[in-house]
Amino acid sequence: NHHKLEELHHRLEERFHPLDRTDFNPWKDMLGDDWDNENRFEGWGAGEWSDLKPTDKVLSLHKAHLSKLVQCGVRGFRFDAAKHIRPETMEVYTTHVRR
């Protein structure tokens, strides 16, 4: 229903400011072959959220968060579900924390 979808978009924008719906991939079920093929990178979630696109805004926010963690003394990172992160995006994160 269109109304429920708009309500969900509004909730996402409220909860994830400064991110908005353009920063998220469309959600889809990750079933069958999609779990482990080229489709595994984008669009999966729990129905109420989806994964973030690697936009400049998203990467900038993530790198700022990683920097704060390093400044607080964190010396190691674990990227859960790394198989769902495109290699070029992972490289942005790992290059950033190695500086």
Distant-in-sequence, close-in-space partners of 52: CB < 8 Å, separation ≥ 6: 19, 23, 24, 25, 58
Give the three-state DSSP class for 47: coil
Q: 85 with 79: CB under 8 angstroms? A: yes
Q: 12 with 21: CB under 8 angstroms? A: yes
pLDDT per residue, tens digit, the chain (99 aa), is 788 888 887 887 788 788 877 887 776 666 666 666 666 666 655 555 567 889 999 999 999 999 999 999 998 999 887 877 888 999 999 999 998
